[in-house]
Amino acid sequence: MTTPNLTEPLKIGTIVRIRNSGYGRARIVEFRGPLGPKGARVYRIRVRKKPRPAYIEVLEDQLETASVGK
């Protein structure tokens, strides 16, 4: 059984932080859909890293939106 998502998905390009991670600010680059456990939303996140950015897919409840400039 899936949990209905009553709110709109986060927008592509939103700056976020990933809870319980050592990453700094990151950017949502793709909404992957309700692919998490019980239909939880999954996002693909780009994390700034040298020499190339890293990508990670996380659940919506792991994300907190970050203010631009902080």
Which residues form the interface with other proteins (CB under 8 A)?
A: 18-21, 23, 32-33, 35-37, 40, 42, 44, 54-59, 62
**Residue 28 or residue 42: which is nearer to other proteins going by CB?**
42
Q: Three-state DSSP class for 62?
A: helix
**Residue 3 or residue 21: which is nearer to other proteins going by CB?**
21
17 strand-pairing partners: 64
Q: How far is the CB of 44 from other proteins (least distance, A)?
A: 8
**Residue 12 or residue 54: which is nearer to other proteins going by CB?**
54
The Cα–Cα gap between 35 and 9 comes to 13
Task: Answer for the pair 40, 30: CB distance below 8 angstroms, yes or no.
Answer: no
